[in-house]
Amino acid sequence: MAIKDEYRAIRRRWQEGQSYGDLYALIITWVSKYKTIIRSPSLPHLIDRLCTDDIHTIVDDFMCGDIYADLRNEMH
């Protein structure tokens, strides 16, 4: 599966109501796998937050927060 397909799969699971813990794990896996390909300037910020911030906040920001709009735009 390609980077954008895996990103869309994460978004689809979020829309289907997947648990925050599962989504968080998917985000970590996705970022780890593609961190050398993603060009979004907000990626380092996301990586820094993955081990320190609240899971719910990270997932919400990843899915719809302004802070990662550039990342979402890159994946569309």
The encoded tokens of residue 56 equal: 């719910």
Query: pLDDT tens digit string along 26-59?
Result: 999 999 999 999 999 999 999 999 989 999 999 9
Q: Residue 35's pLDDT is what?
A: 97
Please report which confidence band the pLDDT of residue 18 belongs to, taking 50, 70 and 90 as the band edges: very high
For a pLDDT cut of 90, what percent of the chain falls above it? 96
Q: Specify whether the CB–CB gap between 30 and 72 falls below 8 A.
A: no
Domain of residue 52, residue span = 3-75
Q: Tally the domains of the chain.
A: 1
